[in-house]
Amino acid sequence: MAGLPYIVGNWKMNGTRAMLNEARAIDRAAARFPKVQVGVAPPATLLYRVRDAVELIGVGGQDCHAKDSGAFTGDVSAPMLKDAGADFTIVGHSERREYHGESDADVKAKAEAALSAGLAVILCVGETESQRDAGDAEAVVGAQLEGSCPKADGAPEKLSVAYEPVWAIGTGRVPSIEDVAAMHASIRGKLVELYGEGGGEVRILYGGSVKAENAAELLAVPEVGGALVGGASLTAESFLAIVGAAASLGE
């Protein structure tokens, strides 16, 4: 798999300007880890400020609308994220799918809008606990990929996929290493089916209760090309411990 390990912090609906200090601290420390690609996705209100506060790390949105502009109160478009200085955006996070009713088709349209605006995309997929218990995890994730992977210019080159089992998000629970390996191999197979050779290069991140204590083990799994981190990305200290774990794997 090509590319540096990619560690991305998803701040979700957390953070006011005080978080700029954390962003600065992450950015300063990133210089010590040139073999890791680092990004943060602050809330939209902070995007522009974080962009201005950092030099080395990537900055991204957490979602975008599928349309470029219009009467969509409360939404933010991909060209707006780009204009605010974003390098990438997350789409299809399970919290968007669950609380905002986003379908695979919605996620695909958002991913295509983001690529068209010149943003890289982190597309999230993942099964619920009942789907895993029923033995359907790989089928569910495969269907999500079929329905939501973008076909626009920029795919698959600017695409990353984040596997985030819904039941592992914010719970302190993580799948077994064997289950992570099996799912990532299955995602790789589906990406090659969808994109041909280019699908072999898409980075596949793991997300769901990644912490300093489990990061090295998760990141060492074949086909795990990085991590999408929620709670542990909210302080520079805990986030940098994960970045450090990724760096030490390459040594």
Q: Which residues sit at the interface with ligand 13P, rule CB under 6 A?
A: 10, 93, 164, 169-170, 207-210, 228-232
Our CB check for ligand 13P shows the closer of 53 and 210 to be 210
- 69 belongs to an annotated ligand binding site: no
Our CB check for ligand 13P shows the closer of 141 and 229 to be 229
217 phi, psi to nearest 5 deg: -65, -45
Nearest residue to ligand 13P on Cβ basis:
230
Sole residue written with tokens 């569910």? 140
Q: How far is the CB of 113 from ligand 13P (least distance, A)?
A: 20
- 209 belongs to an annotated ligand binding site: yes
- 230 belongs to an annotated ligand binding site: yes
Our CB check for ligand 13P shows the closer of 95 and 112 to be 95
Our CB check for ligand 13P shows the closer of 195 and 229 to be 229
Q: How far is the CB of 149 from ligand 13P (least distance, A)?
A: 18
Which one of 93, 95, 127, 223 is the catalytic residue? 93
- 167 belongs to an annotated ligand binding site: no
Which one of 95, 102, 138, 164 is the catalytic residue? 164
Assign 3-class secondary structure to the chain.
Answer: CCCCCEEEEECCCCCCHHHHHHHHHHHHHHCCCCCCEEEEECCHHHHHHHHHHCCCCEEEECCCECCCCCCCCCCCEHHHHHHCCCCEEEECCHHHHHHCCCCHHHHHHHHHHHHHCCCEEEEEECCCHHHHHCCCHHHHHHHHHHHHCCCCCCCCCCEEEEECCHHHCCCCCCCCHHHHHHHHHHHHHHHHHHHHHHHHCCEEEEECCCCHHHHHHHHCCCCCCEEEECHHHCCHHHHHHHHHHHHHHCC
Q: How far is the CB of 92 from ligand 13P (least distance, A)?
A: 11
- 214 belongs to an annotated ligand binding site: no
Q: How far is the CB of 34 from ligand 13P (least distance, A)?
A: 24
Task: Say whether 93 is catalytic.
Answer: yes
Residue list, annotated binding site: 10-12, 170, 209, 230-231
Residue list, annotated binding site for substrate: 10-12, 170, 209, 230-231
| Residues recognised as catalytic | 93, 164
